Every structure is written in structure tokens, then in C-alpha cells.
Amino acid sequence: MTVGRFSGRLSWRPNIAGLVTMAVCGLVWETAIQIGILHYQYLPAPSAIVLGAGELAASGELVAATLHTLESVFLGWAIAVAAGVSFGLLLGSSPLLRRYSMATIEVLRPMPAIAFVPVALLLFGFSIQTELMVIILPSLWPVLINTMGGLMGVHARLGDVGRTFRLSRAAILYKVFVPAATPAIMVGVRISLTLAVVLAVLAEMVGNPEGLGYAVVSQQQALRPDLMFVYVAVIGLLGLALNALLVGVVSASFPAASAELKGPRS
């Protein structure tokens, strides 16, 4: 039959055309600086950045900063996902709770993350707690809203099916509604991870003096743009890698769900 559409396996095909574009951009940048078309005091050439990366990797600073940021991202994201899924499940299954809480959520949700920094600083000082608070609060919402919305969007027929088989309310929730809402929950989990990386870097720039975010700022103040650009690039690659990792894990754990998202066969 049509098992050909089954896409549980990860395939890795390098995107040659995309890589060529990147290489050309890098080459144009390098050339423009070498022949002096681009002339800013603190804009390094790609070659200088590559050399800087070697320097930072050798000294161990790059690894230490990356590990710190990774740790904060994972910790903050894990807490945000746990809290977001829990509250999302509660709100998604109780109209009463929704009636009492949605107004508060709609006020809190659009608050910009940066507004929490002074609050967190006052509460926790320049610490990992400040960083976690800045990560967790904003990255909680995508998980919560998508979990709640996913649960509310499950077709009513599935509830009827659970009832006609005399499943308990709890069994209907965990056997029927939660799996049916999993694709939506995963969307929230993914948005939240991307957000957590951005927020960790932000918190490190202004709150907790550690990790990649602080490294960017301190290299800027040390007037080492080549090293600053190394950290900027590493932050970009980190976001890319974490997202790819999550997509891989999700499609390996929920082959049916991800295939279903691509639409039914007939």
C-alpha cells in the first residue's frame, strides 16, 4: 500500500544550492573588506572571524560559555514546557477555569520579555535565577496556549468514542485527547525552544554575566569584533542545532502524528 509516505526516518541531504549562496555571500564580504570597499573600523573579515574562532576554541572560553547558555536554555525550557503543558491541560479541559483565568493570561501574555529583566534583577540579582525567570515567563505562553488550543480543537467525535466505550474521564483525557492534541502541543514546545535561546542570550547580556550573551557584550567592550562575531555566529548555530534536534526527536517519537500532519492519503 502506501507505506512510502511514512517518514519516521531522518534523512540528511545537504542543500547544495543553499550552501553555494552562503559561500558566495561570505566571499563577497571577504573581498569587499580586502579591497577596501567596505571600511568600518570594527567590521572584521570572515577570515578574521574564523581565526578568532580557533583562538577561542583553543582557550576553552567558547566551550564554557556555550555550555552555560545550553544549560540555562534546557533548564528554563524544561520548566516552561512542564508548567505550560500542565496549565494548558487544566485550562483546555475546564471551561470554568478558562472563564476565570483567560483575562489574566491575555494581560500577561503580550508583556515583552525585556520588561521582566529589571524585576528579576531586583528580586534575584545578577544570577542564574534572574536568567531563568527571563527565559521561563515568556516561553511558557506558546506551550500553554498551544496545549489548551490543541485540546479544545480535538474533534468532539473522539469524546463520543471514549464515552461509548465507557472510558473514565481521566482515560479519555490521556488516551484520546492528549495524543490527539500532541501535534499542537509540539508546535508550542518548538516555538518555546527557539524563544528560550533568544531569551537566554538576552538575559546574559543584561542580567546574568555568564554564557554566550555576556561573551558577546564583553568582546564588544574589549574592542575585539572578530571574537564578538564568533559568539554571534555560535548563538545562531546553537538555535539552528537545537531546533533540528527537536524536530528529529519529535518525528522519531511520533511517526504517525507527523505523517498525519502531512494530510490523509486519499
* C-beta separation of 182 from 254 below 8 A: yes
Considering beta carbons, is residue 4 or 60 the nearer one to other proteins?
4
Here the cell at position 196 is 528560550
Looking at the Cβ atoms of 115 and 260, the one nearer to other proteins is: 260
Written in H, E and C, the secondary structure of 67-89 is HHHHHHHHHHHHHHHHHHHHHHH
Nearer to other proteins, 1 or 122 (CB): 1
What is the closest distance, in whole angstroms, from the C-beta atom of residue 91 to other proteins in the complex? 23
State the first-to-last Cα distance of the chain, in angstroms, to the nearest integer. Answer: 12
**Cβ 212 to other proteins, closest distance in Å?**
38
CB 115 within 8 A of CB 57: no
Of 193, 217, 240, 247, residue with least CA distance to 84: 193
Nearer to other proteins, 150 or 207 (CB): 150
Q: How many helices (H) and strands (E) in the chain?
A: 12, 0
What gap in Å lies between CA 258 and CA 260, rounded to an integer? Answer: 5
Query: Please, what's the b/e burial string for 197-225 (b: 16 or more CB within 10 A of its CB; e: otherwise)?
Result: bbbbbbbbbbbbebbbbbbbbbbbeeebb
Least Å distance between CB 85 and other proteins?
17
Tell me which residue of 212, 50, 236 sits closest to 220, measured CA to CA: 212
- In the complex, minimum distance from the CB of residue 257 to other proteins, in angstroms, rounded to a whole number: 5
The nearest distance, CB 175 to other proteins, in angstroms, is 7
Return the number of the residue (41 or 266) whose C-beta is nearest other proteins.
266
- State how far the Cα of 92 lies from the Cα of 182, in Å rounded to an integer: 13
Minimum distance between the CB of residue 260 and other proteins, rounded to whole angstroms?
Answer: 5
For other proteins, the closer CB: 111 or 163: 163
Q: Kindly tell me which of 219 and 258 has the beta carbon lying closer to other proteins.
A: 258
Residue pair 72/200 in contact (Cβ under 8 Å)? The answer is: yes
Closest approach, Cβ 152 to other proteins, in A, equals 15
Burial class (CB in 10 A: 0-12, 13-18, 19+), 158: middle
- Residues that bind other proteins in the complex, under the rule CB under 8 A: 1-3, 155, 157-158, 160-161, 163-167, 171, 175-176, 179-180, 182, 254, 256-257, 259-260, 264-266
Q: Which is nearer to other proteins, 66 or 182 (CB)?
A: 182
Least gap, CB of 164 to other proteins (angstroms):
4
